[in-house]
Amino acid sequence: MSVAVLQTKPEEFPIPEGVFAETVTEVKHYTDNLFRFRTTRSDSLRFRSGEFVMIGLLNAKKPVYRAYSVASPNWDENLEFFSIKVPNGPLTEHLQKIQPGHTILIRKKPTGTLVNDALIPGKRLWMFSTGTGIAPFASLIRDPETYDKFEEVILTHTCREVTELKYGQDLIKEIKDDPLVGELIEGRLRYYCTTTREEYPFMGRITDLMKSGKLFEDLGVDPINLEVDRGMICGSMAMLNETKEILESFGLEEGANSKPASFVIERAFVG
């Protein structure tokens, strides 16, 4: 059987209660630390674009689950995820070995705050991401609802090295041919990516680029202002906190599903 690495004895580990068992359809490795995978999607697995699910593997009686943003939009018949590979990480040391045909467990009950519903109406939506934090935005930029709600969308992505930007760069190239949103995004979706530890045309932490104003200069837009702008943030705890402070200094206020406001943060991925 080709699934030996992760499912040595499937009969030993029945599918737990309350989970969807999906089949991996595609895996793409970007770097030694980053990969993307796609799976089937059960008809009853419903989520809002930008939400996350808990993912596990069928390799133990009590599988280890970790939060993963769904990177595909809610209309897509497949699911997509973008993952790091943590050496000795309880889940990712195994997850990084998955191949088409393997089973992924997904707990029922997607949730999350990076959703259009948690923002009050505005003209322009900023999505600030570092590393795999781009995943929920990969979902949202492919959802027509985002363009119903906002005239303009600006996605920023910062990584240490150039190769780590590839997932986002491919996404932006491919979205232009997307049958559902390809036309909608014309002149309305902007993408700004930077590196911090390798030479690239645009460099620096997004927080520094906001504070210096270079981000706005490079894009040729006015600085963030409450009348126009809304924000979503996904990255490490330090990045979330610093970006939050900056958005607050521009007069924006953090919201949640229960209390929509002018920006939202996803805290599910950071310890």
Beta strand ranges found along the chain (DSSP E):
19-29, 34-39, 52-57, 66-69, 79-84, 103-107, 124-130, 152-159, 189-195, 229-234, 263-265
Q: Does residue 168 interact with ligand A2P by CB under 6 A?
A: no
Q: Does residue 131 interact with ligand A2P by CB under 6 A?
A: yes
d(CA 3, CA 10) in angstroms, rounded, equals 10
DSSP 18-72: TEEEEEEEEEEE-SSSEEEEEE---TT----TT-EEEEEESSSSS---EEEE--S
d(CA 8, CA 54) in angstroms, rounded, equals 22
Among 8, 78, 236, 249, binds ligand A2P (CB under 6 A): 236
Name the pairing type of β-strands 229-234 and 189-195: unpaired
As measured in angstroms, the least distance from the Cβ of 195 to ligand A2P is: 7
Q: Which stretch binds ligand A2P (CB under 6 A): 7-15, 67-75, 106-114, 152-160?
A: 152-160
Contacting ligand A2P within 193-212 (CB under 6 A): 196-197, 205-207
Q: Which is nearer to ligand A2P, 159 or 234 (CB)?
A: 159
Q: Does residue 165 interact with ligand A2P by CB under 6 A?
A: no
**Residue entry with tokens 């796609």:** 38
Q: Which is nearer to ligand A2P, 80 or 242 (CB)?
A: 242
Q: Does residue 266 interact with ligand A2P by CB under 6 A?
A: no
d(CA 156, CA 153) in angstroms, rounded, equals 10
Q: Which is nearer to ligand A2P, 24 or 239 (CB)?
A: 239
Contacting ligand A2P within 30-69 (CB under 6 A): none
Q: Which is nearer to ligand A2P, 239 or 247 (CB)?
A: 239
Ramachandran area for residue 24 (φ above 0: left; ψ -120 to 50: alpha; else beta)? beta
Q: Does residue 163 interact with ligand A2P by CB under 6 A?
A: no
As measured in angstroms, the least distance from the Cβ of 194 to ligand A2P is: 8
d(CA 154, CA 171) in angstroms, rounded, equals 14
Q: Does residue 238 interact with ligand A2P by CB under 6 A?
A: yes
Among 74, 130, 139, 262, binds ligand A2P (CB under 6 A): 130
d(CA 85, CA 164) in angstroms, rounded, equals 13
Q: Which is nearer to ligand A2P, 47 or 269 (CB)?
A: 269
Q: Which is nearer to ligand A2P, 138 or 239 (CB)?
A: 239
Q: Which is nearer to ligand A2P, 10 or 200 (CB)?
A: 200
Integer Rg of the chain from CA: 19
d(CA 101, CA 6) in angstroms, rounded, equals 11
* 139, 163 Cβ separation under 8 angstroms: no
Q: Does residue 159 interact with ligand A2P by CB under 6 A?
A: yes
Name the residues that contact ligand A2P, by CB under 6 A.
130-131, 158-160, 196-197, 205-207, 236, 238-239, 242
